[in-house]
Amino acid sequence: MDVRKNPMNGSNQQTNASCLLVVDDQESNIQIVGAALGKLGFEILPANGGLQAFQRLAIRRPDLILLDLNIPKKNGFEVLKEIKEDAELRRIPVAVLTTSRAEEDILHSYNLYANCFITKPIDFEQFTKVVKSIEDFWFTIVKLPDGEK
């Protein structure tokens, strides 16, 4: 069984755990996702921008990508477009998780084949509930194809 260092906390984790790539330039948002899902056994791959997201993708294929739109280097739309144009990456579900409520951002995300668009609540408790709902939906209800781990 392959064991790697978790870049979130440096601990060794088995790579057969469900894995999420969280692309967000706000460290606090990555920490909330890590706290809510990490304790459930999920491997969290943090990326603080578009370029780092692709560095992570070159090393590990996540089961789900949580993608903020307002990130440095490459914005979320550019990241989403590149993922969905790549034959090896396009089947990874991408959940846009952003503060935007703009109709043009919602439409543009779906036009680029986002799997869902979620507006981040500002309230910590509500944000934690949203993260838990994402886990319930993507890892309990939905059947995802087996990925390369």
How many Å apart are CA 137 and CA 123, to the nearest integer? 21
Query: What's the sign of the alpha-carbon dihedral 137, 142, 145, 149?
Result: positive
How many Å apart are CA 13 and CA 60, to the nearest integer? 13
Closest CA to 135 of 4, 2, 19: 19
How many Å apart are CA 24 and CA 34, to the nearest integer? 12
Pairing of strands 19-23, 12-14: unpaired
How many Å apart are CA 109 and CA 16, to the nearest integer? 30
Share of residues in the chain with pLDDT > 90 (%): 60
Q: In angstroms, what CA-CA distances link 111 with 35, 50, 81, 115?
A: 32, 19, 9, 10
What's the gap between Cα 36 and its chain centre?
13
pTM of the model: 0.85
Regarding predicted confidence, which is higher, 1 or 101?
A: 101
Ranges 20-34, 79-93, 120-134: which has the least confidence: 120-134
Domains recognised in the chain with CATH numbers: 3-137 (3.40.50.2300)
Q: How confident is the model at residue 139 (pLDDT cuts 50, 70, 90)?
A: confident
pLDDT at 40: 78
Ranges 12-21, 26-35, 44-53, 85-94: which has the least confidence: 12-21
Q: How confident is the model at residue 5 (pLDDT cuts 50, 70, 90)?
A: very low
